[in-house]
Amino acid sequence: MMKYLITGGHGQLGYDLVRELEKRGEKDYLALTKEQMDITDREQVFDVVQNYYPDVIIHCAAWTAVDKAEDMEEQVREVNVIGTKNLVDVSLELDIKIIYISTDYVFDGTKDAPYLEGDQPNPKSVYGRTKYEGELEVLRNPKHFITRISWVFGINGHNFIETMLKLSKTHDEVNVVCDQVGSPTYTVDLAKILIDMSYTSKYGIYHINNDGYCSWADLAKYIFEHSHLAVRVNPVLTDDYIKMMKIKQAYRPRNSRLSKEKLKNEGFSMLPRWQDAVNRYCLELNEKLKGGEK
């Protein structure tokens, strides 16, 4: 049995980490919200972590509003960099493992092949830059797992699949970008592998998401087909979408394909294909909606 401290405890990933720990009979965990521990408050971080003294910190909390981040760099840096530094400092003091949730946005998306863990990051957005700076902080702790994920979805939060299903109620066609390619990541599957990692000392940087690649337009088509919804998906280029919607958007990597070879080479299980993950999420969502109707 191990002791876990989870930041962002009520987010999509935090929620499924708690469920996974419970499934495994791991009862000794603290899944904290910002109200319970503000990671930007150094004194509070040290107080909470020193008192609880976990074996592992799983750091899920982050500023993730990508577009809003462009106009609030100082506040974003406070959360994604300073908050991470505080956790790393206390983890070093107490010799605690740390698992940091990073992102495909650390890359610029111009490579014409899947990104390897050792490829040089080149973030092009405030969100991406601050998450990469967070990675650099985490590297100071030799007992680190830096896990880059992408296109996250889970039952306890807003995500692309949920958005598409809501749009299907009022639209018979939708415009979705087709020149951003990557892999969805289901928090149920991600939580399992993060806990598996926590039991090991196979430290380093890993790319983790569901197997296979697709564009956002491909993903939308699959969601509608799987759900038997007659909604047409119009594939559009990112630049055209921005003009069409008359919106200001942070830079998004066009190529978000992440190689998972290291995961396999280190003996961890590969995550199921993204289509399988979407199917299971839709079942979970239906169950949740049915429960809400009772």
Alpha-carbon torsion (227, 233, 236, 242), positive or negative: negative
Alpha-carbon gap, residue 179 to 42, rounded angstroms: 41
Identify how many contiguous H helices and E strands the chain contains and give both numbers.
12, 12
Which residues of 47-168 form beta strands (DSSP E)?
Answer: 56-59, 97-103, 144-149, 152-153
Q: pLDDT by residue (tens digit) across 185-214?
A: 999 999 999 999 999 999 999 999 999 999
Distance, CA of 108 to CA of 113 (rounded, Å): 12
pLDDT for 136 beyond 70: yes
Query: Is 159 within 8 Å of 12 (Cβ atoms)?
Result: yes
Q: Is 109 left (phi over 0), alpha (psi -120 to 50) or beta?
A: left
Residue 100 annotated as catalytic: no
- Distance separating alpha carbons of residues 108 and 254, to the nearest angstrom: 8
Q: pTM to 2 decimals?
A: 0.96
- In this predicted model, what pLDDT tens digit does every residue of 206-263 receive, in sequence order? 999 999 999 999 999 999 999 999 999 999 999 999 999 988 999 999 999 999 999 9
Q: What is the CATH number of domain 4-158+183-211+257-272?
A: 3.40.50.720
- Under 8 Å between Cβ of 249 and 139: no
Catalytic site residue from 100, 127, 132, 186: 127
**100, 146 Cβ separation under 8 angstroms:** yes
